[in-house]
Chain A
Amino acid sequence: MNTNTSFQQVVIIGYGKVTGEVLQYVYDRKEEYGYELAFIEHEVHPFGVTENICRQNKISFERITDKRKLAAQLDKLTKETLIISASNNFLFPAALVAKPNVTIINFHNALLPDYPGRNAPTWVIFMGEKLTGITWHYVTAGVDEGNIIIQKQCEITGDMKAYELTEQLMELAGEAFRESFADIMARRVQAREQGFAKDRRMYRSYEVPSDGFFDLTDEPEDIYRLLRSVDYGKNDIFPLMRTVMDGQQVQILRYRKITADKAKSEQDSGQEDKGFCYLPLGENMVLKLKYASIIV
């Protein structure tokens, strides 16, 4: 047994791909370190894998979707506990953070101190950033303010959508977690302060880029960037983007970047009469939009 830890218990909270990776990794080291392991699902994901991992490995699994119940449950922790918040939107109460027997670490999907708060992949794409990354940090009473354990960077490519960036960030988060785990367990992380500016902007869950609206006279590249920034597939994190077409409010159901030749062929075959719109993007490419009227 690896005695290089004082943690008697590890509790993992989260949903999604990175949570599954972290859970499996921590489970695989359970015997080595001798800790108890429990998983709490606070937000239910339609394609979640964690319940299955728990079932297969006989890991304690609890689904607690109510915030107050979750806070009350965590408040009962008496053992020396490491809480791993991996892709989780629950804000830990100050009283829990202050408990001397509890250490909390969190994965944030941006390079803190930049882009704290919610939906960071959206905001980095929308703002036209070329680089972003992930941060594992200790949790304090403030949101995304704790000292940094590890960061990893990645590029934001020109056509990247929010869900594609999210996938890449989750891979980086899993990699970074594996690299830091032994140091976290041994409490030997050389954590560094974030040193954020006083005017640091916190992104809230209700904020939508461009207020969810664009003008067809906007630069097509900007429209494309807006659409990519809110594209999480069928996850309704953001409403459909809206614009005005022929004096009527419409919402954008789908979009795609296609070649000018393909766009011309589609236009010639009358696709514009079937709810499609084509905006030239330059470099022989066109932004194809599928729209529908908004029924008030």
Chain B
Amino acid sequence: MEEKILEILGEHCEEALDYDGDSMMEDGIIDSFTVINVISDIEDEFDIEIDAKYVVAENFKNKEAIIALVQRLLEE
């Protein structure tokens, strides 16, 4: 699962893969449009719906946060 998420993230923003901070948005690594694309591909890949309530900066602060979010949704 992790590998696939990183592959999706890398497709839309390669820089995000090397980012080790805790706010990709504030640091200008990704923007809201990248987030939309990443969510769309993740939903499709894992056949899950990511509710709008999860689409907050905290869940997209770095690659680990995205992986953790998908992990939680898959376990629900």
Interface residues of A (CB under 8 A from B): 16-17, 45-47, 49, 52, 163-164, 166-167, 232-236, 253-254, 256, 274, 290
Contacts and interface: CB of A to CB of B under 8 A. Distances in A.
Contacts of A49: 25-26, 28, 31
Which of A47, A52, A167, A274 has the largest count of B CB atoms less than 10 A from its CB? A47
Contacts of B56: 46
A253 B56 CA distance: 20
B59 to A, nearest CB: 10
A256 B25 contact: no
B50 A234 contact: yes
A177 to B, nearest CB: 17
Contact of B49 (A46, A166, A253): A253
B39 interface: yes
B44 A256 contact: yes
Contact of B52 (A16, A167, A236): A236
A232 to B, nearest CB: 8
A259 to B, nearest CB: 14
B44 to A, nearest CB: 6
Nearest to B33: A167
Given A49-B28, A234-B36, A234-B52, 6 more contacts: A164-B33, A233-B32, A234-B39, A235-B52, A236-B52, A254-B49
A49 B25 CA distance: 8
Interface string B20-35: 0000011010011101
B24 to A, nearest CB: 10
Contacts, number: 48
Contact of A47 (B31, B44, B50): B31
Give the interface size bracket for B toward A.
Answer: 20 to 34
Across chains A and B, which 10 residue pairs bring their CB atoms closest together, nearest first?
Answer: A233-B36, A47-B32, A234-B52, A167-B33, A234-B55, A52-B26, A163-B36, A47-B25, A46-B56, A253-B49
A17 B33 contact: yes
B76 to A, nearest CB: 16
Given A17-B33, A46-B55, A233 B25 contact: no
Contacts of A52: 26
Interface in B13-63: 25-26, 28, 31-33, 35-36, 39-40, 43-44, 47, 49-52, 55-57, 60
A47 B52 contact: no
